[in-house]
Amino acid sequence: MKTIIFLSLAGCLALCSCSKIIHPHEEVMSSFKTKDDVKKQFGTPDEKRELNEVTEWLYNCDTISAFAASKTKVRMHGTLNNVYGTFEHPSTDVNEFTHYIHYVKFDFDKKGKVIDWDSKEVNFAQKRISIVKTAALVMGVGIVISLYAWHEAFAQLGKPAK
């Protein structure tokens, strides 16, 4: 019985690995070239500041409670929430950014081109679930569990009753 439970848990864990990363986080973040690109994807920044010819935008990705007050499309841990993309709210101009555990920050030159980005504790990697691999894995796990159950059942037939 313990083995069946183990095999079931192993099968469930294996199912979690049926997605393939198409574009890693760094590639996705580097694909944003202008303020318009960033705003289209992330919405209005929570905070922005000007420093020596550079404009910086900060997106708070910290907590659900902070997200409720957020002006962005960015959710906790970097997932996107398109509901907030329909609202236009002004960003807060600051001299010093708030310190968040989870954030995305973009730096722009005077022409509005992205010159740098930074993120912490978020992952915007684009993944795709492989239906064929998932189906094969489910069938394989089912076959292994069935074979083990049959083996145990036949092993019990040969033992004397207690």
| Tens digit of pLDDT at every position of the chain (162 positions) | 566 566 566 666 555 556 676 888 899 899 999 999 999 888 889 899 999 999 999 988 875 544 444 455 554 444 444 444 444 567 788 889 988 888 999 999 999 999 999 999 888 787 777 777 777 777 777 787 888 778 777 777 766 666
Q: Please tell me whether the overall predicted TM-score, pTM, comes out greater than 0.85 for this model.
A: no
Asked if residue 139 lies in contact with residue 14, where contact means CB atoms within 8 angstroms, the answer is no
Q: Burial level of 35, CB count in 10 A (0-12/13-18/19+)?
A: middle
Q: Residue written as tokens 């795709």?
A: 128
Going across the sheet that includes 54-60, the strands are 92-93, 47-51, 54-60, 103-108, 114-120
